[in-house]
Structure 1
Amino acid sequence: MTLQTQLVLQALLRDPSRELYGRELSELTGLMPGTTHPILLRLETEGWVTSRMEDIDPHVEKRPARRYYRFTATGAGLASDALRAARRPSSTALRGLAEGTGR
């Protein structure tokens, strides 16, 4: 499991019953929307999250409708289990990333 996927799951697990929209998840995780949305699509395909389009009139709201995501009935448990089992990067590897060495 990638670190980016772990960040998305952790953000969703903060309040598993809450719906969050894609940009909101990007802001919470610090990931770009182009990274967050494919992760959400994959989690939805796997049955961990479900999504719905907001029912608004974009002309009245002066913004596009948002797609909201939340865990399925079993998704939060699966996410918690997966995060516990996820390979954690070593502190040396994290330091290398922070320093830009990649080692």
Structure 2
Amino acid sequence: MTPATARVLNALLAQPGTPRYGMELMELTGLRSGSLYPILARLAGAGWLARQREDVDPSAAGRPVRSYYTLTPRGADAAPRALAAAAAVYWSPSDPSDPSDPTGPTGPKAPRSKDDGDGR
């Protein structure tokens, strides 16, 4: 698991039953859309996320239709274990910045690695 995926899962686990839309997740994780949406697609493909499009008229709403993402029961069960396993790989006791914790000492973004999928 990449640190970027860990940030997405942590954002969703903060309130597991709350549907989140893309822009909201971008703000919570600090990821750009080009990094976020492939992660959401992979998590949905693995059965960890459910995606639901809102039923609104974009003209009446004055904005595009939003897709909301919610952890499935499978995702809510598996994500904490996957985050713990990732923390064991990315974090050591000598490094106080735990990449699976989006609220760590460096703020909402976890330390970057070249494979975090963020593109920056």
Tell me, yes or no, whether TM beats 0.5: yes
TM-score of the two chains, using structure 2 as the length reference: 0.74
In structure 2, runs of 5+ residues without a counterpart are 100-110, 113-120
1:10-53 Cα offsets, whole Å, 9 max, x none, are: 00000000000011101100110111110000000000001010
TM-score of the two chains, using structure 1 as the length reference: 0.86
Residue of structure 2 equivalent to 1:82: 82
Q: Over alpha carbons, which structure has the higher Rg? A: 1
Please identify which structure carries the higher helix content. 1
Q: Which has the higher contact order (CA 8 A, sep 6+)?
A: 2
Residue of structure 1 equivalent to 2:55: 55
Aligned residues: 96
In structure 1, runs of 5+ residues without a counterpart are 99-103
Q: Stretches of 4+ moved more than 6 A in 1?
A: none
| Percent identity for Structure 1 against Structure 2 | 46
Q: Secondary structure at the match of 2:44?
A: helix
